[in-house]
A and B are shown apart, each in its own frame.
Chain A
Amino acid sequence: MPDYVIGEHENITGIEKQIPDQIEDKKRKQYRDLDNVIERYSKKPGQLIGILHKAQDIFGYLPEEVQTYIADKTGTPVSEVNGVVTFYSLFSTEPKGKYKLKVCLGTACYVKGAQEIMDALKEHLKIDEGGTTRDKLFTLESTRCIGSCGLAPILLANEDVYGEITVKDIKKIIRNYQKGEKIES
């Protein structure tokens, strides 16, 4: 046992030996998944957006490397792939936090005070809209109307929907995710 410890779980030698391999493995699997997606989709024309959606599910975001790979595999100019990625707001070229917090800023939520919710989250997490916390746990974004206007104002945390929220609820919600994070790790 080495006598120096980083964090609480792993020692330095462990990191040096294991992590790069794990990353390689993970990457190889991701690209294998992407190959399957491309094969399935390219049977019909005009499926670039569908492929990009799946690619983002696999990688979490769409870095240049992935865009180039898709361009090569589908025979599309890389400029065209990048053009599509940058046009649509659901595609991201930056990595995101584990939990994507999205405040709905649709009109119905806005007239019911969604901006205050957004401001409070910015203040609480100390990040700006579009930013990610340093522990890579939260990304704060605004979203277009998700159509659950009956519950306005709305906060989305990945797939979870919180309706009729107030500034007071925010701390509790954030804390729950932070706690969940601790239990998982």
Chain B
Amino acid sequence: MKKLRVENIEDLEALKEKHYPLIKQRLGHRNGLGLTQIMVCAGSSCISSESQAILQELERELDKRGLKENVRVLKTGCLGFCQHGPIIMVHPGEIFYCRVKPEDVKELVQIHLLEGRLVERLLYQDDLTGKRIPSINDIHFFKAQERVVLQNCGVINPEDIEEYIARDGYFTLADVVLNKRPGEIIDIISKSGLRGRGGAGFPTGKKWEMTASQNVTPKYVVCNADEGDPGAFMDRSILEGDPHSVLEAMAIAAYCIGANQGYIYVRAEYPVAVERLEIAIEQARETGLLGKGLFGTLFDFDIELRLGAGAFVCGEETALLHSIMGARGEPRPRPPYPAQEGVWGKPTLINNVETYANIPIILRRGWEWYQGFGTASSKGTKVFSLAGKIKNTGLIEVPMGTSLRTIIFDIGGGIPGGKRLKAVQTGGPSGGCIPEKFIDRPIDYESLKEIGSIMGSGGMIVMSEDNCMVDLARFYLEFTQDESCGRCTPCRVGTKRLLEILKRITEGHGEMEDLDLLERLSQDIRDASLCGLGQTAPNPVLSTLSYFKEEYIAHVRYKTCWAGVCKALLDYQVDEEKCIACGLCAKACAAGAISGAPKQPYRIDPEKCVKCAACVARCPKNAILKGSRKETTVNENAGIFTGAGSQESRATL
């Protein structure tokens, strides 16, 4: 069947009409369709836990039982509750099943579809009350959010353009191209207060205006989908769950600045997102929403995908431009800004995925509405990805100005295992660690900057008392040092030296003067580096130094790692009371550090021990404890080897 080519708003209306009843049912209307829809999450995280197999199994089972007529199985984007994946939703009823396995499908079909009862054991169980909650609308994780950008994720099938149209998709583009002047649109974007969601928070309207005012042609529109911050997966989820919102926004941007060609630069590490984008672009071309003469006007616009090849620095806009042109992704000094000289030396507008995803909604609902969310300086909502030591890892969207307490304890469910919150890392390798004391601060671009971190793209890594802040700084420096492109000296050599000092400290060879050196070197790198990667690389060091200095001092002066993470500062000891003298540990020890005699507690010689923890794994009585060296030193002085592990270090085992 040949697809309808959309020429005007009426064509869009017709397509919307066709799919709207299905969408309406998914949004909670009981409209008597006589049809059940099963939405299977096909985000990367759920695919990793076999959601594709569930989908196939469902198809097979429905076929076998002759239910295909009345039940539809569809793929959908990420709902953000990744910790509980794979997730399946059944409509009508918005029934939310989590941690579903392919083996559960038979039961699901039998009990839910045929007998009309709920499969209790697969429903979400509330942490506090222990009650099973059938409907997504009653789950606190979702109730506490404000889903604006993510409104379509989990509701529509991302591989069907018509479902996007049924959610008013491409109507805004049609209205803009047919009825509006570019200046009007840029004015609305400026008034909305939208700022770049990629990290720096530059006003989006201003960027559009700058590119629009250039008198050079051709111009280009670029989408930065090189989401390289570890622990950040907002952009990936948008591209996987609602790719057309980005395509539509890019077309609107192109119309406003006067471009006819767009590029999406996406990481090769996101195969699912790449596939969905390819499908989306193809469908948009078939439907006439990309290509020559959109909506019967003279406006042409098409989009090409460009794949990254594993270089973090390519998220920096000038490096990204080089990479789009097929060259080494090295940054260059600005000015000239990409708005003046970008792809092929022509004016180029670069925005991040989430920024684009905001555009159609702002234009549809008006800047006044959008201004209703957020703080004085930061408007709208922000998508955050929660990861690390937190119960509900996943993706959330909240208004700007929400506090960390709400995000971590209310929506995120707190820290698992009753551990204490130590810090939250925001902004990835360019950001900083926020200590617990700032947990009630409203989060926006400015407030995070004031406390030494940045918004970044929205990754939040939660850390508990089991994480060592010196080790974390070392980890990030290892990352930036590895990813430094080598073009400018402060970054290439500076990060290497920083890393050496941090390694020295975590290995127990640090001196007190190293702490001053760290600080001075960090400032130099920040001031002298060429691009954002180098300028922000010292942030993890500076912020941990300012908030967790006592931890650095403990490593340097007392050679102790409180969290029990830095291997060189650890010692293993046998708990004499628990030891049954079976000798398994001595056999497991490759270094020959464990000795003992029958019926006597065994002992570990700290001088010979290589801290491989092989003995800990072998001991049947959990009698080998991980402690820090300081405690051993004290014990050595007292002439005793054993039993020094504190309650805390026992818990870390």
Contacts and interface: CB of A to CB of B under 8 A. Distances in A.
Interface in A19-55: 44-50, 52-53
Contacts of B544: none
Interface stretch (B172-180, B203-211, B222-230): B222-230
Interface in B426-468: 428, 459, 461, 463, 467
Nearest to A41: B326
Instruction: Identify the interface centre among B230, B459, B476: most chain A CB within 10 Å of its CB.
Output: B230
B85 interface: yes
Contact of B231 (A44, A90, A107, A163): A107
B387 A107 contact: yes
A38 to B, nearest CB: 13
B324 A46 contact: yes
Contacts of B475: 107, 110
A134 interface: no
Interface stretch (B62-70, B280-288, B308-316): B308-316
Interface in B226-264: 227-233, 236
Given A45-B325, A48-B326, A87-B329, A150 B312 contact: no
A112 interface: yes
Nearest to B472: A111
Contact of A90 (B45, B47, B309, B461): B309
Interface stretch (B293-301, B388-396, B629-637): B388-396
Interface in B27-57: 44-45, 47-49
A49 B323 contact: yes
A150 B324 CA distance: 30
Interface residues of A, number: 40
Contacts of A53: 268, 307, 309
Contacts, number: 139
Contacts of A50: 306-307, 326
A130 to B, nearest CB: 12
Interface in B266-286: 268-271
B82 interface: yes
A45 B425 CA distance: 40
A145 interface: yes
Given A49-B307, A83-B328, A90-B268, A108 B48 contact: no
Contact of A46 (B230, B231, B326): B326
Contact of A112 (B227, B268, B344, B388): B388
Given A106-B231, A107-B231, A151 B48 contact: yes
Nearest to A44: B304
B327 to A, nearest CB: 7
B312 A148 contact: no
A48 B325 CA distance: 8
Interface residues on B, range: 35 or more
Interface string A110-150: 11100000000000000000000000000000011111111
Nearest to A152: B387
A47 B306 CA distance: 8
B485 interface: yes
Instruction: Identify the interface centre among B271, B327, B476: most chain A CB within 10 Å of its CB.
Output: B327
Given A50-B307, A53-B307, A143-B269, A148 B48 contact: yes
Nearest to A164: B49
A145 B310 contact: no
Given A108-B230, A111-B461, A112-B388, A88 B48 contact: no
A171 to B, nearest CB: 12
Contact of A106 (B47, B82, B230, B328): B230
B307 A147 contact: no
B83 interface: yes
Nearest to A143: B269
A148 B237 CA distance: 10
Given A50-B306, A111-B388, A111-B389, 16 more contacts: A45-B325, A45-B344, A46-B327, A53-B309, A84-B326, A107-B231, A107-B425, A107-B476, A108-B393, A144-B310, A148-B233, A149-B231, A149-B387, A150-B82, A152-B387, A154-B48
27 contacts: A49-B309, A50-B326, A52-B309, A83-B328, A84-B327, A87-B328, A88-B329, A90-B310, A91-B310, A107-B387, A108-B231, A108-B387, A108-B461, A110-B230, A111-B463, A143-B269, A144-B269, A144-B310, A145-B229, A145-B231, A149-B82, A149-B233, A149-B387, A149-B393, A151-B82, A154-B48, A161-B47
Q: Top 10 nearest A-B pairs by Cβ distance?
A: A150-B82, A106-B230, A108-B387, A88-B309, A48-B326, A147-B233, A90-B310, A149-B387, A161-B48, A145-B230
Interface of B: 44-45, 47-49, 82-83, 85, 227-233, 236, 268-271, 304, 306-312, 323-330, 344, 385, 387-389, 393-394, 425, 428, 459, 461, 463, 467, 472, 475-476, 485, 617
